[in-house]
Amino acid sequence: MEPLVTVPTLPGPPIRIPPQLEGLRRMAYNLWWAWHADARRLFARVDPDAWTRHHSPVSALLSSVDWVPLLADPRFMAEYDDLLRRFDAYLAGGSDHWFARKHGHELPGPIAYFCAEYGLHESIGIYSGGLGVLAGDHTKTASDMAIPFVGVGLLYRNGYFRQTIDADGHQEHAYPDYDPATLPILPVADATGGPLRVPVELPGRTVSVAVWRAQVGRTPVLLLDTDVPDNSEADRPITHILYVRGREMRLHQELVLGVGGVRALRALGISPVVWHLNEGHSAFLLAERARELVAAGGRVDDAFAAVKNDSVFTIHTPVSAGNERFDADLVRRVAGPLFDGDGRPGTGGVPISTILDLGLGVEGDRGQFDMTSFSLRLTKGSNAVSRLHARTANATWHPIIDEPILAVTNGVHAPSWVGVPMRELYERYLDADLDDLDGRTNGSRFWDKVGRLPDKELWEAHIRQKRDLTHFARGRLLRQLARHGEAPSVLADLETELEPEILTIGFARRFATYKRASLIFRDMDRLALLIDDPDRPVQFIFAGKAHPADRPGQQVIQDIFGRSRGDRLRGRVFILEDYDMRIARYLVQGVDVWMNTPRRPLEASGTSGMKAAQNGVLNLSVLDGWWDEGWTGDNGWAIGGRETDPDEGAQDYADALDLYRLLETEVVPRYYERDANGVPRAWLQLVRSAIASTIWRFSTTRMLHEYVERLYLPAAGVPLPESSTGGAPHPVTEAG
Ligand SMILES: *Cc1c(COP(=O)(O)O)cnc(C)c1O
């Protein structure tokens, strides 16, 4: 089967590859390897040094590879053949995809999906956190499910910042400098075979936007880039930095994403049947599409109605203050000329005053343009990212919406996040294929069979993943502490610290204050008793970045760092620098417990806890976001209840007490209760429930079923299938 949406590209940088291994080129330029660990291992063997430095297949091929020993190595050649065969089979498959099977006809398409960030792999740092990782997982799953789909985003050559923490605990920021020639992306070609450029008018000049293609399995993602020689020195950096701080630069960025994205699709002859805005950063695509319709002779009202009819929007924050806003004057000055032509009504454009009216926030502040309100008013369907979030979001935005915001709870792409030892176990005992959650696997309801996972092997698989984490974390901490100038004896201690036998609790997320990363440190005496227990010790691994502008968040990092180096907690509390998808993989696969302590209801969903649970790691979390619906009573622990105290201090205190109580009376005793072989049987009962209750229900496969049936089909004008229930959660969501 042909790829569902094809985007022509120009050749990449010259890479010399022996003809027998030519398939490596195709594989390197398809992010399929991002969810196939064995494909990454193959590229690592091509050039181990280059791999260690970049973790990037294209970089490995670009280094001066010594091909002779590889060609002479029968094992390498056999692995290559096997992978290439699987890769080609993946691309060719999909003709019997779930939609056609279920509904008897092809899913209309394509769906255009816009997002400001994509977390596809750690080597392409065009994401900052959960939103990007969700977009990456959504894209990968669209490919797995053969959904006609095209992503649109920005190519940030300086990405998001890389974090180091200095010896005083201060977060330091450094921006990488990506050379697109080393990334798994190719320049997109226009109809004449030259590099595609699309224009975006800004005051007094026209910015020229280059387009790159990241191919994610069967799904292309278009990445827009203003760093081209045609642009002035002032405009080339528009797309350099993700979530750039300057407001005007940020507005330019979002105009390039929304307007440039529509124009890139048009230039490629791609005609989406549905436009999906994942978060409001891309909202100007709605204005651009209205402008097109008016330019073609339509009335402004009709144009906006038409745009609304086939657009859908996913909201990601519970409260209005968390959303993107611009000064209305700035929007009028910067975006006005672009949308209303020469500024006079009736000259074919969309009056900027109309755009500003549509972007009036719920607070009614006419001085602000609110991207979320604009998106909500101009989309036919919208959804929040968990059930609890839908309640909060509807309460916040009900004044401006005519249809309720649906709940489509987030999920994760299991093949990207489940460790190989666990995965092999699922395949062996449950007849499960994580690459094909929809087909045979779903039909066999493998989550009902987790009872078949034998205690001993389940525990061994977990311990293998935990050892990998220990090894990785020791290496990272050694580099960090050596850089701080720690004494050799301190560095030597690391060899015996982070022992896999010790109950290990992970906490990794953006350090925003509402996430309350410091909650566990509230009663230092009680914590010290826990971690120093000679028979049943506990250790913690923290990781996470704070936004460069978030001083209080950086303060939390400093506080935790200080404690981790202080006398009382040293050797039991660690903080890893530069949290990214790689660290996330090690942590969610290798810790025993995943702790999350947000202030309810401020966490819209969260997804790292889903990744952990799918690896058999137990969540210990406040009933917020996904955990409010994910907790079953026997698959982990709930901190606190569903009541929230308006007095934040009192709530924090109560939650801290409950956290200590759970650790002391539930988590620690259960973990250390072993049978004669050292296996924690009672613990493993919870592990099985964690796997069973999340592997389908919090998968992006289940999530995409819902997006298709509850949002995409209605927006595409296709009547809802009989078997679908419209507003209610799709029956498959109740499985598991
Ligand atoms: C999964 C992931 C996230 C999102 O996790 P939360 O649960 O929202 O904290 C953020 N960053 C990275 C690197 C991830 O892999």
Residues 370 and 499 in one domain: no
For residues 430-457, average pLDDT = 83
For residue 509, give the 3-state DSSP assignment: coil
Among 41-50, 356-365, 424-433, the range scoring the smallest mean pLDDT is: 424-433
Residue 724 has pLDDT above 70, yes or no: no
Whole-number Å distance between alpha carbons of 374 and 362: 11
Residues 599 and 648 in one domain: yes
| Structural domain ending residue among the three candidates 38, 59, 94 | 94
DSSP string for residues in 336-392: HHHHSTTS-TTSSS--HHHHHHHT--TT--TTEEEHHHHHHHT-SEEEESSHHHHHH
Structure confidence by residue, pLDDT tens digits, 169-201: 999 999 999 999 999 999 999 999 999 999 999
pLDDT of residue 723: 56
- Lining ligand 1 with CB less than 6 A are 129-130, 133, 509, 579-581, 584, 606-609, 611
Residues 457 and 598 in one domain: yes
pLDDT of residue 736: 31
pLDDT of residue 440: 57
Is position 703 within any domain?
A: no
Ligand 1 centroid–CA 199 distance in Å is 34
| Averaged confidence pLDDT in the chain | 93
What is the count of structural domains for the chain?
3
Running DSSP on this structure, what letter comes out for residue 318? S
For residues 382-402, average pLDDT = 96
For residues 119-131, average pLDDT = 97
Percentage with pLDDT > 70 across the chain: 95
Pocket test for ligand 1, best of 124, 608, 611, 700 (most atoms within 8 A of CB): 608
Residue 523 has pLDDT above 70, yes or no: yes
Residue 391's Cβ-count burial label (10 Å; 0-12, 13-18, 19+) is middle
For residue 59, give the 3-state DSSP assignment: helix
Q: Which of 76, 85, 86 lies closest to 43 in space, CA to CA? A: 76
Residues 463 and 357 in one domain: no
DSSP string for residues in 121-189: -TTS----SHHHHHHHHHHHHHHHTT--EEEEEE--TT-SPEEEE-TTS-EEEE-----GGGSS-EEBB
pLDDT of residue 4: 84
For residues 65-75, average pLDDT = 96
Structure confidence by residue, pLDDT tens digits, 631-684: 999 999 999 999 999 999 999 999 999 999 999 999 999 999 999 999 999 999
* Residues 385 and 628 sit within 8 Å (Cβ to Cβ): no
Query: Pairing mode, if any, of strands 197-202 and 325-327?
Result: unpaired
**Confidence tier at 444 by pLDDT (50, 70, 90):** low
For residues 469-473, average pLDDT = 98
Ligand 1 centroid–CA 543 distance in Å is 11
For residues 382-406, average pLDDT = 96
Higher-confidence residue: 9 or 733? 9
Residue written as token pair 């650790």: 663
Ligand 1 centroid–CA 661 distance in Å is 27
* Residues 564 and 344 sit within 8 Å (Cβ to Cβ): no
Residue 728 has pLDDT above 80, yes or no: no
Pocket test for ligand 1, best of 133, 160, 385 (most atoms within 8 A of CB): 133
Q: What CATH number is associated with residue 603?
A: 3.40.50.2000
Is position 714 within any domain?
A: no
Structure confidence by residue, pLDDT tens digits, 280-291: 999 999 999 999
> Closest residue (by CA) to atom 5 of ligand 1?
608
Residues 87 and 141 in one domain: no
Using the atom order of ligand 1, give the atom closest to the CA of residue 609. 7
Is position 705 within any domain?
A: no
Residues 245 and 311 in one domain: yes
Residues 390 and 479 in one domain: no
pLDDT of residue 734: 35
Residues 468 and 561 in one domain: yes
Residue 733 has pLDDT above 80, yes or no: no
Structure confidence by residue, pLDDT tens digits, 155-169: 999 999 999 999 999
Residue 8 has pLDDT above 50, yes or no: yes
Residues 154 and 272 in one domain: yes
State which residues form the domain around 51.
Answer: 20-94
Structure confidence by residue, pLDDT tens digits, 323-354: 899 999 999 999 999 998 654 445 568 999 99
Which residues, at least 6 apart from 160, have a Cβ–Cβ distance to it below 8 Å?
A: 117, 125, 126, 127, 128, 241, 242, 243
For residues 307-331, average pLDDT = 93
Residues 484 and 357 in one domain: no
Residues 359 and 505 in one domain: no
pLDDT of residue 441: 55
Running DSSP on this structure, what letter comes out for residue 9? B
Sign of CA dihedral 356, 206, 192, 3: negative
Whole-number Å distance between alpha carbons of 417 and 408: 21
Residues 52 and 160 in one domain: no
pLDDT of residue 735: 34
Is position 732 within any domain?
A: no
Ligand 1 centroid–CA 492 distance in Å is 31
Side chain identity at 215, as an amino acid letter?
Q
